[in-house]
Amino acid sequence: MEYIKTRIAENTLEIRFYNDKANSFTSPMLRELYSILVDANTNNVIKSILLLSDNPKLFSAGASFDEMLSIEDSDKAIEFFSGFARVIEAMINSKKLIITVVEGKSIGGSVGLVAASDYVVASPKAEFRLSEYSVGIGPFVIAPVIEKKIGKSPLMEMTIDTNYKSAEWALARNLVNVVTENPTPNEFAINLCNQINQRSNAAMVELKSMFWEWNCWKTDIFMERAHISAKLLLTEETKLFLKSFKSR
């Protein structure tokens, strides 16, 4: 079972996602998430966006392993990785501030969604891992936005050392903005959204432009990187890595 649920509460668009296979993102989920983010731009009722996993023990395992293993041709591989590219572009170009809550593990592509958020609230149990290099690929699509948020050296560290990084590590390197247990991450995030909802929409748009440098960001880099990931996915070596990783 997989789904993305939305509701508008007190001018906040809550986006909750779930997949019973490690909360991973499939192509249909990514297409739906992209559509939701784009549509939110023209909804004047929405003043902030709250992104949450519906599994408190796991934020997301990233890209769907089952789908990656099933892909046999270049066009499908490019389309799959383009899903993450489009969502990240939609997040950084959104006219709404996006607050993301991370409880539990965030792996692979989902770290890109964390990095593309404007503000991230994490629990002390949150962990972050770029696993791509360990399965023969690399975090190519998500790397530009992670680098923009935390810098090249921490990106290199996460990419090469594919072990989990703690919430404290992420906080020290600005991948997350606050680590909290009391209040809970959800409570903290909802309160922050309520504050944002009382502020100027026009100022919010200008802030987003300043934060993400809309006028000088080379957004096509995400799609270019999707082609690199797609090429590597189709190699026999990567297929063997993926099968071995999935069977653990």
Domain chopping of the chain, boundaries: 2-186
What SS3 class is residue 41?
coil
Q: Lowest mean pLDDT of 19-23, 55-59, 158-162, 188-192, name the range.
A: 55-59
Task: Give the C-alpha distances (Å, rounded to integers) separating 26 from 99, 205, 235.
Answer: 22, 30, 21
Distance between CA 24 and CA 7 in Å, rounded? 21
What does the pLDDT read at residue 239?
80
- Neighbouring-strand partners of residue 5: 16
- Greatest Cα pair distance, the chain, in angstroms, is 53
Q: How far is the C-alpha of 140 from the C-alpha of 109, rounded, in Å?
A: 10
Mean pLDDT of 219-230: 88
Residues 6+ apart with CB under 8 A from 11: 45, 46, 47, 48, 197
Residue 53 contacts residue 59 (beta carbons within 8 Å): yes
Q: Could you tell me the two tokens for 240?
A: 């063997």
Whether residue 112 contacts residue 146, with contact meaning beta carbons closer than 8 Å, is answered with: yes
Q: How many residues does the chain have?
A: 248
Q: Which residues of 81-97 are buried (b: 16+ CB within 10 A; e: fewer)?
A: bbbbbbbbbbbbbbebb
pLDDT digits (tens, 9 = 90+) for 98-130: 999 999 999 999 999 999 999 999 999 999 999
Kindly indicate the confidence band of residue 217, based on its pLDDT and cuts at 50, 70 and 90. low
- Decide which of 3.30.460.20, 3.40.50.2300, 2.40.10.10, 3.90.226.10 is the CATH code for 2-186: 3.90.226.10
